[in-house]
């Protein structure tokens, strides 16, 4: 049984690609937690897609045993967190389970946007922060410049920062000593009633739901009957243990320890992240405050290319939702695309990851509709509705006003690209809030509409700054604006999958671009096809796809001109009738291409 004073719980936070997972690898290796033959790069990134993209998506935990230079044995519980803004929810949850953080900064790049965002989360969670400057083996490394940036931009003392190279292993022993010396031990009482925080849960097809827990007070043993205080469910504990990084059973988990429990729970929905776990017989009087549930930010429709695969898609989405608490879905149908699901995500990278996982793990080809955000629509009768899908927009004559979500975006960019970034933000209806300098880099803070960001803002930002800008955002609330629903009509039939919410000032430009694009994508038919963009009953842009022409007068040679006239008039009447009853087939590729918004 490890005394509380010899336990340290910490997480590693940093911007994308600053070396969190590699540092975790070296800490695991330096303490012989995993034999050398089982060691591999990014050991804690278990999913194929994490290893392939080289990013962390799920926060992972591991228990390390370390003998310090003073001869004392310590237990270190490490949580490796993601760096991307889409997975900030994972980071905020992990922060609540530990007392300290290692702030990893790339000594060649300096402080980036997500370094800031993640450090502020650590400060909010009341963490002791130890700065670590990584990649000192690279020739471009400049420790004094980075230390100055950390002090100027973040405002924490960088004089005791530890220079390391997570690649070569230099400085790792100093990091371990700093964890033991500088980070505070956890607090907790062994004799109090059990109070444990549910940090995360994942689904295992053989064992059911496995919960990752942090014990605050009391002791958890195998065979205990536990109660989830928020959901009210009671379960018998079948197994408890710790991650090293594979699962290793233990007899008990005491205060300050992080481990897993398995209690034959069937659904991940029964395990609310942030819930308090206690013993049914001897309950703790006060539950923990818990986490705010994650709010989906971006919505889009997922439809199978082959409509016969709808049931397979339903299974795949249900299984994915078991593992990902921040992913939400509901069924929807579209006249153009058939049956599918309207899904909510924390951002576009989250959307991409979920889509890739469905296509890869379940072998289902998907069509994704245009991503949209939630609008608040205020009706003239005083009611308010949340609009997830622009196709469901009520009649404009009954709407008082529409509010859209706004974000506060922080962009760090080298000085020479600042003009392009400011122009990009201005084009996206941004309002500048702040512009400061950190060395040779500008930090622009903008108030932007989320709707303008979810399409291709990040790609545009990366291309105008040659990849040097870093970007982070947080939701700031809703604001009224002059927003309208733009419908696309093909042959006078509205195509619901292409409806979108746009700002009235930009509607004509957007509508014209969409009509021109569809004109190239829809194959020609035997009759003329009008393609229109409309707001309510008013058409704002139109293109006409000309008809394929069959020469009906080919058999007439010589003779009276009225014979030709008669045949042409008959053809004209036929085409008119065809246009009335004819169906326009819009191929799936046309949908996919039309939804990719280019400038």
Give the annotated binding-site residues for GTP: 17-22, 134-137
The annotated binding site is made up of: 17-22, 134-137
CB 202 within 8 A of CB 209: yes
* β-bridge pairing 493-494 and 483-490: antiparallel
Question: Tokens representing 327?
Answer: 């992913």
d(CA 131, CA 103) in angstroms, rounded, equals: 5
Structural Rg of the chain based on CA atoms: 29
d(CA 258, CA 256) in angstroms, rounded, equals: 7
Give the E-state strand segments of 285-337 in sequence order: 298-304, 328-334
d(CA 163, CA 143) in angstroms, rounded, equals: 8
d(CA 339, CA 439) in angstroms, rounded, equals: 53
d(CA 57, CA 440) in angstroms, rounded, equals: 31
d(CA 489, CA 282) in angstroms, rounded, equals: 64
Q: How far is CA 114 from CA 275, 422, 472, in A?
A: 27, 20, 6
Q: How far is CA 22 from CA 7, 18, 27, in A?
A: 23, 9, 9
End-to-end alpha carbon distance in the chain: 62
CA-wise closest residue to 198 among 161, 227, 168, 177 = 227
Q: Token match 């971006």: residue?
A: 298
d(CA 275, CA 213) in angstroms, rounded, equals: 10
CB atoms within 10 A of CB 264: 12
Please, what is the Cα angle at 244 between 242 and 245, to 5 degrees? Answer: 110
**Phi, psi torsion values for 27, nearest 5 degrees:** -65, -40
Q: Please enumerate, as own/partner, the contacts of 348-354 that have beta carbons within 8 Å and a separation of 24 or more.
A: 348/86, 348/298, 348/454, 348/458, 349/84, 349/86, 349/87, 350/86, 350/87, 350/298, 350/326, 351/298, 351/300, 353/49, 353/57, 354/320, 354/324, 354/327
d(CA 20, CA 321) in angstroms, rounded, equals: 26
Q: Please enumerate, as own/partner, the contacts of 143-150 that have beta carbons within 8 Å and a separation of 24 or more.
A: 143/107, 145/110, 145/439, 146/105, 146/106, 146/107, 146/110, 146/111, 148/439, 149/110, 149/111, 149/438, 149/439, 150/103, 150/105, 150/111
Please, what is the Cα angle at 104 between 103 and 108, to 5 degrees? Answer: 140
Q: 347 — alpha (psi -120 to 50), left (phi > 0) or beta?
A: left
Enclosing H/E stretch for 576: helix 561-581
């Amino acid at each position: 049984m490890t005394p509380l004073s010899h336990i340290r719980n910490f997480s590693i936070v940093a911007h994308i690609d600053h070396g969190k997972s590699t540092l975790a690898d070296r800490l695991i290796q330096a303490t012989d937690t995993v034999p050398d033959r089982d060691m591999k790069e990014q050991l804690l990134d278990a999913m194929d897609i994490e290893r392939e993209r080289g990013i962390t998506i799920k926060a992972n935990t591991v228990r390390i045993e370390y003998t310090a230079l003073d001869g004392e044995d310590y237990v270190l519980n490490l949580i490796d967190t993601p760096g991307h803004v889409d997975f900030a929810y994972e980071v905020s949850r992990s922060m609540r389970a530990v007392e300290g953080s290692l702030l990893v900064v790339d000594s060649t790049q300096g402080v980036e946007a997500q370094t800031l965002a993640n450090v502020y989360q650590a400060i909010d969670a009341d963490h002791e922060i130890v700065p670590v400057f990584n990649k000192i083996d690279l020739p471009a490394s400049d420790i004094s410049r980075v230390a100055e940036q950390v002090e100027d931009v973040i405002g924490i003392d960088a004089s005791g920062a530890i220079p390391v190279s997570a690649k070569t292993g230099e400085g790792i022993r100093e990091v371990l000593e700093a964890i033991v010396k500088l980070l505070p031990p956890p607090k907790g009482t062994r004799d109090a009633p059990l109070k444990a925080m549910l940090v995360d849960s994942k689904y295992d097809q053989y064992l059911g739901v496995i919960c990752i827990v942090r014990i605050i007070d009391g002791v958890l043993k195998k065979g205990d009957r536990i109660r989830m205080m928020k959901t009210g469910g009671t379960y018998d504990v079948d197994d408890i243990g710790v991650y090293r990084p594979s699962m290793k059973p233990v007899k008990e988990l005491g205060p300050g320890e992080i481990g897993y429990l398995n209690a034959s729970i069937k659904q991940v929905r029964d395990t609310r992240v942030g819930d308090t776990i206690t013993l049914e017989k001897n309950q703790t009087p006060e539950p923990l405050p818990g986490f705010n549930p994650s709010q989906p930010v971006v919505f889009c429709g997922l439809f199978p290319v082959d409509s016969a695969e709808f049931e397979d898609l339903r299974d795949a989405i249900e299984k994915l939702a078991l593992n990902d608490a921040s992913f939400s879905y509901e069924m929807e149908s579209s006249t153009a695309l058939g049956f599918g699901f309207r899904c909510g995500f924390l951002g576009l990278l989250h959307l991409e990851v979920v889509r890739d996982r469905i296509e890869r793990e379940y072998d289902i080809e998907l069509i994704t509709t245009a991503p949209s955000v939630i609008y608040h629509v205020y009706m003239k009768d005083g009611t308010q509705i949340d609009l997830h899908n622009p196709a469901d927009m009520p009649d404009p004559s009954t709407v008082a006003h529409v509010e859209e979500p706004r974000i506060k975006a922080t962009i760090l960019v080298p000085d020479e690209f600042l003009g392009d970034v400011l122009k990009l933000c201005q084009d996206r209806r941004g309002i500048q809030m702040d512009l400061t300098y950190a060395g040779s880099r500008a930090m622009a803070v903008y108030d932007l509409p989320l709707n303008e960001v979810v399409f291709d803002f990040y790609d545009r930002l990366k291309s105008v700054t040659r990849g040097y800008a870093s970007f982070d955002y947080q939701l700031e609330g809703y604001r009224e604006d002059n927003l309208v629903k733009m419908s696309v009509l093909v042959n006078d039939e509205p195509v619901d999958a292409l409806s979108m919410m746009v700002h009235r000032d930009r509607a004509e430009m957007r509508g014209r671009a969409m009509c021109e694009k569809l004109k190239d994508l829809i194959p020609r038919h035997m009759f003329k096809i009008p393609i229109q963009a409309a707001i309510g009953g008013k058409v704002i842009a139109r293109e006409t796809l000309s008809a394929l022409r069959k020469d009906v007068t080919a058999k007439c040679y010589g003779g009276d001109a009225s014979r030709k006239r008669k045949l042409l008039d008959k053809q004209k009447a036929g085409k008119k009738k065809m246009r009335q009853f004819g169906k326009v087939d819009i191929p799936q590729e046309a949908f996919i291409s039309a939804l990719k918004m280019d400038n």
